[in-house]
Chain A
């Protein structure tokens, strides 16, 4: 009994709960070894930072035991019963650990220094934690605190520049959920739905997300960035292999905040922002710009480029000797009334009535004003946290209300998190980490296509403007009543983007609850047993109603209710053993996991409401034409995992793991796979022979790892089964009746199995000049085999593709981080962080089958065929561009040359690579990469007294983007009254980077041109001020900060068709925030 009591007193918490488990283990182990009592005394003291401020929460421990305490809010500590031969160890995250022999001292006043290298930081490694100094794999830890200055509004902003080898994409929507990528793409996927984008491949290369130790299948927007304590990115195979089957794309581990010892801390922050348009492709503005375009375009299409005058030219610009001809050509001989002359001219361009009125009245509009606005962003957060002896708690509430630049597009969310840990008994902790989210996607957004919108047209009939009888709110989008909305915009098939949203009511909401309940048993002999049970509930509603008052609709009212329900459970049982024998340290982990994901979807909809549609989507029963459908899936997985971490002294670390996974989406023959890994590290600077290493050399560590991981993402539901598509049509038998028709749309593949990725990682961690210069270099190579490939089949099979395990992809690359403390004085600090990553891949194999191939010389060789339809080539990068090559534009005088290919001056000059006089598939050549091999971020932070200033630069280099715009041959021209303001060729304005209007694109109308897309962006600029204590003390506030920052400040690029990243819009955000703790 006495021993137990002592144990409870000696339990330590250092504020970072992630340390807890380790310490508990160590503690239990040591207690069991405790022998007789020697002579003891009480020691006490005070711990401060370099600046003299007291440091609470510092762990003070007697070396080799778990006896100890932590400093209080004033930095004071006291430990009874300390033996004279003991050594006190002072440790605190981010500070250099200090050891002091007790001897005959009883008072210890210690000053701790920040440790730039952070070797004692605790890192989440999956089903456990480790100290940074013990790491053998590539794990990068990001503390949320480090990035606080930039006021990240979401997780992606937090991580965008923080981790070498982690790329974060962009999203321009109000909800803002971009993609993450760790290192290169390890898998390739075809454009299965043939929509020209690569979302299939992006999805299959998504890293696994783990939240508080549990695999997180949710939406990144569920995680409130303010709840995040730290993020660990597991990059290499050995680190990630703990998660086996889903880890080949890397793992991002989020750890949320836990209560810290001391009185309750309340933190509140508010952030207000504005989202504005930044780089966007412009259209011609009202006036000479657009009229000049219309003139040029019509002259070009009618082949009148070189005429001295044309009827499309503005009358005033026609040389006087041709003016009467002009009047004749426009059907108004001898006309002198300028209004009539202008009207005749406008008729040439098929201006509609309202456009002519507006032109004559000198009115012009920019549709960007109708379709985009400055969006508001609000973000309010409050949290309460603290810890008593037995209970640790953290509770937060966050509210986000955000708009995008697109009119009417919004997203609101409410998140709440409760992290609670109760020490029920000395050997048992129980708790819950739970997250609640409510998301609301707001009203139907107003479409944002402005490309062909006439600057003399508006969303409303002209009668609404300047008419005192029409109510004018002065504000978009609903400036005038909806009755005045035009049913279609001027031009062909323009529609009116305002029309339908004005008659749509919708409720797009989602609730998600994600609690992890756990019990942790601390057992003798260094064992701990943790059992997690996680459930996840997800309810999504999409209710939608179209009001038949919209003159464009004749469905008699239409309403739809869609319900998605998900219920998922995961069970993790983890047994851990941690023991130290002299210089040997063991940490052994075993895991048994099972999970089940169940999704149910129901859609009910109806049209033709009677007697009334007044109830909208609430009253589906009144629809005379009802329709229903459903889609369910149940997926199961399980896993067994074992891991041994071994350390010898402070120099050698070794880790080995083994995991076996099962997944129900694979073919019945192959549900299981195993994933091993081995890794080791050597801390050179701790070797005896390095004892007299030069002072500037602080730290050197070598790491090497090998591991195999799996990938199962990107696989559709029931991928191993032959499936039937399901549809209906009509037959007639005395009356129309609906008949089902079904056909096989996928072949069965019972052998469908895991995609495997085998990777090596070699790394060097370095620190010089007391950490003033520090960082890591990781070099890796990986090979993915048994790719889950959608092999394109010849169409004559009746199938477009089949998913099979064939092919092999190689990746090599490196991640380098360089962190420097450039200047450090008592009130001025300047630090920099430079991250660069490079990745290159190569397709090694696609089918594994050799066929006869005839080379240029007519010799037959056996090799694997390329997959031309997917654009995959053996021995090439998967992102290689394979396209016709052009070389400038045929100029006037080169008619004959052009005619050989059926082309004309103003058309791009195609390079006939094999000189056979025909441009065909044999003339396609490799032209660089469509994805950036280089990704760099460069961050600088300056602190001066209470002020801080930061700037982040981001660069994506070495790639090209595609655009069909340089061809200037869109069929929409002739029917519309505006276009993008982009270069085009005319004989008078000869150029080589853009073709004539209606040029001929030999590759076909949708074949793009590839142009350099690399860019450097000033990603973020932050300015903040921490109010001094002298002001805060009297008002009982412990911390207060005001900050201003700008996201997407500027971009530098050669790309001219919109922002190089999004290819169209990329908003700029200004935000202002205040943040208090008390």
Chain B
């Protein structure tokens, strides 16, 4: 009997164990340390975090080597890529290396990340738009908080689509967060994309908050107005663009920063005077310069830039706050490389001895003073010389080109300790750097290692991480500021041939900068858009997506039939991308002003590498692996690149109303069965 009891006990135990472990709740997994859309995007605070992700995506384009922003400049007439140790750079010998299979995704070329990150950030903006009505809004569809968030998401999305269409032409056009494995995207005509963005931005400028109502870092309504003005101009609605800029200039939210705002007797550090390791004074140029409207405006000290009234939309970053954002590294990206490669700055008399102490350590003085530039962005002769030679005068009175604010190579000195050991070189120790000595070239790789640039807006001491990496610390940066609003209005007026107004707008900027000469109305009339572009280059060097501006203007030239230096452009058929890929203002302007591409200048480091450009390079290739996952449909390659021969006709978008979540554009036009 006892055994039978044992057995029945056993069976009960077995069954008990069974029921315990078969309990459904037992296998229910609850996320513990990570959030999900369902528990996060349910109120304004949650949606704000998705908007912030998209905003941070833009900050990333400026931080750390000035990534996509710098790349964009190197694809214009203002600068070229100068990292002369990467001969496969898709930004240099473009005819050979700007291909859909070039995997370069760094300083040498950012075609990949512009495309990839663009769509990632569109997803984040779409998150806000898709989830906008998940929270219960007190005011329903008229709730100002709702509409500000929705408008801000529209603004961010429009910003990314501007970059994608200016970079790649006709592209895929998701307007929702994809929730299943969609693999049948097709490209849309960019015109339809712009039309949707204009509708969205018109909503945004009605509902977004003003700068004074927002923390710095958040895009205010004036930022949306600047972007909408550019979109309007794409559709040749110049008067509307001008009116928007009138609002931005007159609404009192931001204003130009002028000499009157500069505190009396103030000074500005345009470089480092002290070795950050030990505070000892570094010999050579005194970087503490008298303050003026320009160097003070751009001074990276404390929160000066965040507080400056000129900022419309500003990237916020500061040393020692959590270290999340990383360094701006603006000097690294934009400054000449004084310190490395064996074709760099060599000492007189023969140009064989290394001129500057290149050790990466606490003893390296000139690096501490001028920052550890890598020469990734090399100004063209146009940026370095031509624009400063105004009306026959070499303008060093202009604050933007004043010695000190502008770095010239002879502000650096030879400080390599070995120079003192040698009879021939010791007299040059601590002498200013020069390019020639009695006819002998002292710096072979002058593309990367020898040029001047406006250091005032790039230099920021690095207090974080490794001190020996003085390549530009964490700092605030202007994305859009009042000066650009004037220049956008000047452009809108030029297209309308309002020469006087355009001249006034340009001269406001020149006056603030203390330029010697102003433009006359006839100057602007004869130079047309060139005057605007020149002034943009003087004012916004290193602050604008220069390539995108040139492409945008190329569309306008083609749509309006206006002429540039006797050349006119047009759109044949419906495909803007195809038309511009064979002939464009962009190509003509770059070849005109960019001596590197025009003259196909070769490197000294890799003698077979030279700068080359074809008309098709107005738009960039899409990295092939990004397209091949789209197995359900043909997603077009950019015109002219390998793979584009199989392109299909892009889709025509039907504009959807703003104010509520979108339908998938492909579904909306019945493209997916």
A residues with a Cβ closer than 8 A to B are: 298, 301-303, 330-332, 340, 343-344, 347-350, 352-353, 356, 486-488, 492-493, 521, 523-524, 527, 529, 531, 551-555, 571, 573, 575, 590, 592-594, 607-608, 625, 627, 630-640, 662-665, 668, 671, 717-718, 720-724, 726-733, 735-744, 747-748, 791-799, 802, 804, 847, 849, 851, 865, 867-869, 902, 904, 918, 920-921, 969, 971, 974-975, 998, 1000-1007
Contact = CB atoms under 8 A, between A and B. Distances in A.
B464 interface: yes
Contact of A353 (B122, B174, B323, B417): B417
B150 to A, nearest CB: 17
Contacts of B673: none
A921 B342 contact: no
A920 B624 CA distance: 10
Given A487-B361, A741-B53, A743-B127, A554 B119 contact: no
Most chain B CB neighbours (cut-off 10 Å) among A492, A631, A743, A794? A794
Contacts of B181: 747, 791, 793, 802, 804
A721 B31 contact: yes
B260 interface: no
Contacts of B30: 634
Interface string B620-643: 000011111111100100000011
A323 B608 CA distance: 28
Given A594-B20, A741-B49, A798-B120, A747 B465 contact: no
Interface in B1-34: 3, 6-7, 10, 13-14, 17-18, 20-22, 26-34
Contacts of B350: 330-332
B275 to A, nearest CB: 11
6 contacts: A302-B607, A488-B361, A738-B324, A796-B185, A920-B642, A1005-B103
A487 B360 contact: yes
B361 A486 contact: yes
Contact of B10 (A350, A529, A736, A1000): A529
B218 interface: yes
A740 B362 contact: no
Contact of B52 (A332, A524, A590, A740): A740
B34 A718 contact: yes
Contact of A743 (B123, B323, B465): B123
B466 A553 contact: yes
Contacts of B342: 298, 348-350, 974-975
A621 to B, nearest CB: 18
A625 B320 contact: yes
Given A302-B607, A571-B17, A743-B50, A796 B119 contact: yes
A517 B262 CA distance: 79
A634 B30 CA distance: 8
Interface of B: 3, 6-7, 10, 13-14, 17-18, 20-22, 26-38, 40, 46, 49-50, 52-56, 59, 85-88, 96, 99-104, 115-116, 119-120, 122-124, 126-127, 171-172, 174, 177-183, 185, 215-218, 276-277, 303, 306-307, 314, 316-318, 320-325, 340-343, 349-354, 358-362, 417-418, 422, 424, 440, 463-468, 476, 604-608, 624-632, 635, 642-643
- Which DSSP category, helix, strand, loop or mixed, fits chain B's interface? loop
A627 B628 contact: no
Contacts of A631: 33-34
Most chain A CB neighbours (cut-off 10 Å) among B53, B102, B630, B631? B631
A818 to B, nearest CB: 45
Given A350-B358, A639-B21, A739-B52, 14 more contacts: A301-B607, A331-B351, A527-B10, A529-B10, A632-B32, A664-B29, A729-B325, A744-B123, A793-B183, A797-B185, A865-B631, A1004-B101, A1004-B103, A1004-B104
Given A730-B317, A739-B52, A744-B177, A348 B352 contact: yes
Nearest to B13: A573
Contact of B352 (A347, A636, A795, A802): A347
Contacts of A608: 320
Contacts of A742: 35, 40, 46, 49-50, 52-53
Contacts of B50: 741-744
A521 B6 contact: yes
B94 to A, nearest CB: 12
B31 A718 contact: yes
Nearest to B7: A523
**Top-10 shortest CB links A-B:** A331-B350, A798-B123, A487-B361, A594-B21, A350-B342, A741-B52, A731-B217, A865-B631, A303-B607, A733-B215
A722 B36 contact: yes
Nearest to A667: B29
A347 B122 contact: no
B14 A998 contact: no
Contacts of A636: 26-27, 29
Given A353-B418, A524-B3, A718-B29, A793 B631 contact: no
Contacts of B422: 340, 343
A866 to B, nearest CB: 8
Contact of A741 (B56, B341, B624): B56
Given A630-B33, A671-B27, A736-B318, A743 B53 contact: yes
Given A554-B467, A729-B59, A730-B321, A868 B628 contact: yes
Contacts, number: 349
Given A487-B468, A630-B33, A723-B36, A732 B103 contact: no
A749 B404 CA distance: 59
A487 B17 contact: no
Contacts of A797: 119, 123, 174, 178, 182, 185
Contacts of A735: 303
A1004 B86 CA distance: 11
Nearest to A723: B34
A969 B624 CA distance: 23
Nearest to A494: B360
B464 A554 contact: yes
Given A795-B115, A851-B631, A731 B178 contact: no
Given A350-B354, A971-B85, A974-B342, A732 B174 contact: no
Contact of B322 (A348, A554, A627): A627
Nearest to B120: A798
Contacts of A301: 605-607
B297 to A, nearest CB: 17
Nearest to B425: A331
Nearest to B85: A971
B215 A575 contact: no
Contact of B605 (A492, A724, A794, A974): A974
Contacts of A552: 466-468
A356 B417 CA distance: 13
Most chain B CB neighbours (cut-off 10 Å) among A330, A849, A998? A998
A971 B84 CA distance: 9
B349 A331 contact: yes
A663 B446 CA distance: 63
Contacts of A633: 32-33
Nearest to B20: A594
B88 A1000 contact: yes
Contacts of B216: 731-733
A671 B59 CA distance: 42
B418 A732 contact: no
Contact of A794 (B27, B320, B627): B627
Contacts of A607: 323
B127 A744 contact: yes
B185 A638 contact: no
Contacts of B55: 729, 741
A150 to B, nearest CB: 43
A347 B353 contact: yes
B5 to A, nearest CB: 11
Contacts of A632: 32-33
Contacts of B115: 795
Contacts of A1002: 101
B217 A732 contact: yes
A727 B177 CA distance: 20
